[in-house]
């Protein structure tokens, strides 16, 4: 069974006090990876989640998330395993929100 809680560098937090350790780190963590505000009250935000959102049995833990709020692509969402993937995904979502890319 894989870990449920992770640090921003994608290392798992394990052991008998994993949830408490995660909560203490998460409370102090800078969760914001990227954030852009666009005209028309549209926001593209990428954050560190800290908890694995991959609910399947295969694939990497998904601990970062990009969302678009407002505009044509409101509620668009993608999740990633690493901060590098999250930054690339943020750029894709930003281009989508600007109308420079297709879903």
**Domain ranges for the chain:** 5-98
Give the E-state strand segments of the chain in sequence order: 5-6, 12-13, 32-38, 42-48, 64-69, 77-80
- Which pLDDT score is estimated for 76? 97
- Which pLDDT score is estimated for 29? 84
Residues 37-63 pLDDT 10s = 999 999 999 999 999 999 887 899 999
pLDDT at 69 exceeding the cut of 70: yes
pLDDT at 64 exceeding the cut of 90: yes
Residue linked to tokens 């560098």: 9
| Separation of first and last alpha carbons in the chain | 34
pTM of this prediction? Answer: 0.91
Among the listed ranges 11-15, 64-68, 74-78, which one has the minimum average pLDDT value? Answer: 11-15
């Amino acid at each position: 069974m894989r870990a449920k809680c992770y640090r921003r560098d994608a290392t798992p937090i394990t052991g008998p006090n994993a949830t408490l350790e995660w909560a203490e780190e998460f409370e102090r963590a800078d969760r914001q990876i990227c954030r852009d505000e666009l005209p028309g009250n549209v926001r593209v935000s990428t954050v560190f989640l800290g908890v694995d959102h991959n609910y399947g049995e295969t694939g990497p833990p998904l601990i970062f998330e990009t969302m678009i709020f407002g505009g044509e692509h409101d509620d668009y969402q993608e999740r990633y395993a690493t901060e590098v993937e999250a930054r690339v995904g943020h750029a894709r979502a930003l281009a989508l929100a600007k109308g420079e890319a297709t879903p």
